[in-house]
Amino acid sequence: MDKSEKKERGVLRRARRQHGFTQSSLAAELDVDVQTVRSWERAGRLPSVRTQKRIAEVLGMPWEELAVFTSVLDEAEDEDRTDEYSLTPEMETDSPTPTSEATPLPIVDEQADWDQEPVTVPRDINRYRILQRIRSRWIFGVLKPLSATPLIPLRFQQRPDATANPWRTSHDFSQKMTFSYPEGTQIIDVFDEASGELLILGEAGSGKSTLLLKLTQSLVKRALNDDQLPIPIIFNLPSWAQKRAPLIDWLIEELNLKYQVPVALARTLVTNDQVFPLLDGLDEVDLPVRPACVEAINAYRQEHGLVPLVVCCRSADYNALPEGLVLGNAIVVQPLTHQQIDDYVSRSGEDLAAMRVALQADEDLQEMASTPLMLSILAYSYGDMTPEEAQELHSSRAIVLDQYIERLLRRETRQHYPPEQIKPWLSWLAWQMRKHNQTEFYIERMQPDWLGNSPQLHGYQRTVIRFITVLQCIVLGALAAWLKGGLKNGVVGSGNGILGLFGGGEGNTMMGWMAPGIGGGSQGGASLIIILSIVIWLVTILVGSPSIPTLTPQAIRYGLFSGLRAGFKLGGVISIIGIPFFSIVGGIQHGISYGLGIGFFLGILMGLLRGMGAGLRYEEQQKEPVPAKKASFTDRVIDGLTFGVFGALSFMVVEELLQVSQQSTLIYSCIVFLFFFAAYGFGGGTNLFPALAQTIKPAETVLWSWSHMFGDMKENSKKSVLVALVTGICVSVVIASVTSLFFFNVRYGIRYGLVFGTISGLIVGIAAFLTSMLQSGWSSTILPPEKHTKPNEGILRSGRNALIGACFFAPIGGVASGLACGIGFGLIGRLPAWPVMGMAFAVMLAIMFFVIFVIAHGGIAWIEHYTLRWYFWRAGFMPLRFVRFLETVQADALVRKVGGGYMFTHRLIQEHFARLYERQDDPS
């Protein structure tokens, strides 16, 4: 659009303004709604002939001269031309909501066209989406709710000497001069005058962050209409202190984490100077690293000096820095004048009569009231007070804030929680937010490190590990009982379990020549439990790993020795315990047979599980820079007892439901107890899901990429085949050796081992392939802040996504595994009942796939989150119903809801509560 066209299309807007009409007043005069007027000025629609004549009469111009429309670029001029500050405690990006008793007459910005949207078609959709996220998050989410609150004009003073200008000399007196901008100057005009390099200073509560928001609003409108302009994006500097990375790296990370911009795109935007940073909260950066933060900003300016940059900071904190920022200009938001304060108090009439008297008599109180935030807090604190009561309110900021909070909490609307509970809970929350450099609080973002290095953290970690592992033990124990069957009506065998349910017949008839099993009392279905356990153990490792591991010779050797060591240890101990136990029950021969058999059974199982697990995790352990802290012997004993009891109880319940002999149930329940005690208590079962209870990572959003899946298919296929071969060979060799050497002949042992190895290898290979395809195509991440619409939405979404994904992938894994079992039992085992075996294993493994997937892809975060909240509640840090509590204090104007998160209504309020917590923690 050329300049002449812009000028023509602005005629209607200019004519309206020349006659003193706002869009709202013109709409009222014409008896239409505001949106209609906006549409005319944007060329969105044409007035009717009758309305055209009416517009011409009202504006005193022929319609032919008015029949042109404004462009989107002119929208910014319809905003109020004065930067004003809302006189409620809610006015910085983290400020309080309006209150009732002492609220002065409103000064509403009627010309703020909040609902206007750009009508230009975006050429760069990614750029457009980022700008819309900024509008949604900061303009509509934070600034718009403040637009209808009482306003007061802000005044600026230029401070050229506040910045580190490289052209300045000791004799440059112009750089030492200061002057005040005329009243009504817009922040966007100051920004333009500074050529896009601006430092905004001011006292706490003076309106710095509000100015930054209004500046962002104007800059976003410009960027929406000019693709050549960089994207203005607000960044909160406190998070820089966590890693202290170069500013460009931090900007890229923040774009990804806070605005959900893909890393590759974020890097392109930042490195190509397409991002315009607006940095808020320099004073909130930890004091020891604040100078380093300034150095990082200046280093960024050296490399990207042509990109506009705005920084906000408290005056006192900035003046204490050893080095200033290299920026073009600096302004200081000026304190309110006595006249402004008096006008504000006068508008409230008799409600603030006591405050007016106190201000006249107390100069310290006048100084305290010189910022809009403290003026509004004082107004609320003094509201409806008598002069006698007002004299008791000392001119100390801490005392005033205490009184302000006390009055808010003592209102008649109070429900659910008394003030004595609210104060310590909010104090702890404020302290944690300050400690972790957070200005916004999302319930789902709480992490275990909020417990500190305390016994509570250790208890939380063990609870999460035990809870998740118990779930696996319960399911595995139940499936083992269902597969084994048992003694029923004088008949022993798997026919009394799931195999019989699918038509396998009584006893172990469907097992054919494989009915004797491994030997040593492990007949029929009892031996099949080995396959089930191996598959579940390895699938859990594969699903819980970030990618399919590469089995190198070193990994195989490491796994072999680990498995042999673990198998001999457990098998020997169980045999020593089992022989005398079973001898008492059925004689010495029975004791030796069953004692050795169970020892070998559990030793084999433990050796296979531990060995293959160690091999698959070898590559991951080598990459881990710091080994995870191992559980103590006491923890392991407690873990083993817990897992053994729940696994055995689950086994026993299913056996009872199948009406199996109670003696058989008791014997095998003891075996199951020993297995879970050893395998999950001491054999690494608690490490199947790595890094439990360390960092909560909810799967709030889920994406599927077919291109990634097909792109990785070749490499994943190779790895899966290798995993299948190693698993099949290991299982075949071990089973064949034990069966041939100790119980049956070599021919039987080799054939039996081959069937077992083939089935195990095929299922594990299929599971590895499906898991790798899933991990390549499936990706999950957290929601951007502007997408949070209700509290704790991220955790709820995580649980839901886990269930949906499991419902889709579990049947696929079950059917594929069932086919693998059918191939093994049919083609190699030559069993007529192979369809029965395939269907039974398909059902059982589908159930286990479902449980594993739910836990690994969102369920862990759900469990960790609610366990953490339970520990917080038990420690007295928060109420059990935390969301209801936050909604309550939001009604009290102490916190403000921002989408699905919360923020203290102002940083001063947050700091005050944080100091209260420190005083509670350290009474001295």
| pLDDT at position 504 over 70 | no
Task: Inform me whether the pLDDT recorded for 445 exceeds 80.
Answer: yes
Tell me what the mean pLDDT of segment 357-361 comes to: 75
Q: What's the pLDDT band for 865 if we cut at 50, 70, 90? A: very high
Here the tokens at position 856 are 């690994």
Cα–Cα distance for residue pair 524/515, rounded to 1 Å: 5
What pLDDT is stored for residue 294 in this prediction?
A: 94
Categorize the per-residue pLDDT at 46 as very low, low, confident or very high, splitting at 50, 70 and 90: low
The two tokens of residue 282 are 């320099």
Rounded distance between C-alpha atoms, residue 287 and residue 270, angstroms: 27
Query: In angstroms, rounded to a whole number, what is the distance separating the alpha carbons of residues 756 and 824?
Result: 8
User: What is the residue type of 482?
Assistant: W
Q: Residues 652-660: what's their mean pLDDT?
A: 84
Between 31 and 157, where is the model more confident? 157
In tens, the pLDDT along 446-483 reads: 999 898 877 888 899 999 999 999 998 999 999 888 88
Element (H, E) at 235: strand 231-236
Entry field: residues in the chain: 924
Instruction: Determine the Cα–Cα distance for residues 109 and 89; give it in Å rounded to an integer.
Output: 18
Q: 2 in helix, strand or coil?
A: coil
Across 809-820, b (16+ Cβ under 10 Å) vs e yields bbeebbbbbbbb
pLDDT classification of 177: cutoffs 50, 70, 90 = low
For the chain, percent of residues with pLDDT exceeding 70: 78
Q: Which of 695, 687, 549, 724 is nearest to 620 (CA)?
A: 549
Q: Inform me whether the pLDDT recorded for 596 exceeds 80.
A: no
Show Cβ contacts of residue 720 under 8 Å, excluding neighbours closer than 6 positions: 548, 765, 766, 768, 769, 772
* Distance (Å, whole) CA 484 – CA 660: 10
- Contact between 335 and 370 (Cβ < 8 Å): yes
Please answer whether residues 689 and 540 qualify as being in contact, where contact means their C-beta atoms are separated by less than 8 angstroms: yes
Question: Which phi and psi (to 5°) does residue 276 adopt?
Answer: -110, 105
Neighbours of 521 (CB within 10 A): 22
pLDDT value at position 528? 76
Q: What is the pLDDT of residue 257?
A: 80
Q: Measured between alpha carbons, how far is 858 from 129 in angstroms, rounded to an integer?
A: 27
* pLDDT tens, position by position, 246-282: 999 999 988 988 887 888 899 999 999 999 999 998 9
Residue with tokens 């409620």: 88
Mean pLDDT, range 586-603, rounded to an integer: 74
Range 230-247 average pLDDT:
90
CB–CB of 76/118 below 8 Å?
Answer: no
Name the least confident of 359-368, 390-399, 683-692.
Answer: 390-399
DSSP states along 594-648? HHHHHHHHHHHHHHHHHHHHHHHHHHHHHH-SSPPPPPPHHHHHHHHHHHHHHHH
Max CA distance (Å), the chain? 117
Beta bridge partners, 276, equal 232
Measured between alpha carbons, how far is 539 from 804 in angstroms, rounded to an integer? 19
Token pair for 620: 């991951």
Residue 884: CB atoms within 10 Å: 13
Average pLDDT, the chain: 77
At 320-357, the pLDDT tens digits run 999 999 988 899 988 888 888 888 777 777 777 777 77
Could you tell me if 616 and 551 are in contact, meaning their C-beta atoms sit under 8 angstroms apart? Answer: yes
Question: Looking at residue 118, what is its pLDDT?
Answer: 47
293-304 pLDDT, tens digit each = 999 999 999 999
Structure tokens at 216: 């962002």
Q: Highest mean pLDDT range out of 223-232, 435-444, 762-771?
A: 223-232
Residues near 35 by beta carbon (within 8 Å), at least 6 away in sequence: 115
Return d(Cα 229, Cα 247) in angstroms, integer: 21
β-pairing, 491-493 with 486-488?
antiparallel
pLDDT > 80? residue 696: yes
Given a cut of 50, whether residue 108 has pLDDT beyond it is no
Identify the CA nearest to 152 among candidates 411, 356, 339, 431.
339
CA distance 682 to 347: 74
Q: Tell me the two tokens of residue 279.
A: 């940095």
Q: Which of 71-75, 608-612, 637-641, 814-818 has the highest mean pLDDT?
A: 637-641
Kindly report, residue by residue over 750-791, the tens digit of the pLDDT.
887 888 788 788 877 877 787 777 777 777 777 666 566 678
Q: Which residues of 52-74 are buried (b: 16+ CB within 10 A; e: fewer)?
A: bebbbeebebebeebbbbbbbbb
Element (H, E) at 332: strand 329-333
**pLDDT exceeds 50 at position 626:** no
Beta strands of 451-530 (E only): which ranges? 486-488, 491-493
What does the pLDDT read at residue 112?
Answer: 47
Most confident of 63-67, 491-495, 756-760, 868-872: 868-872
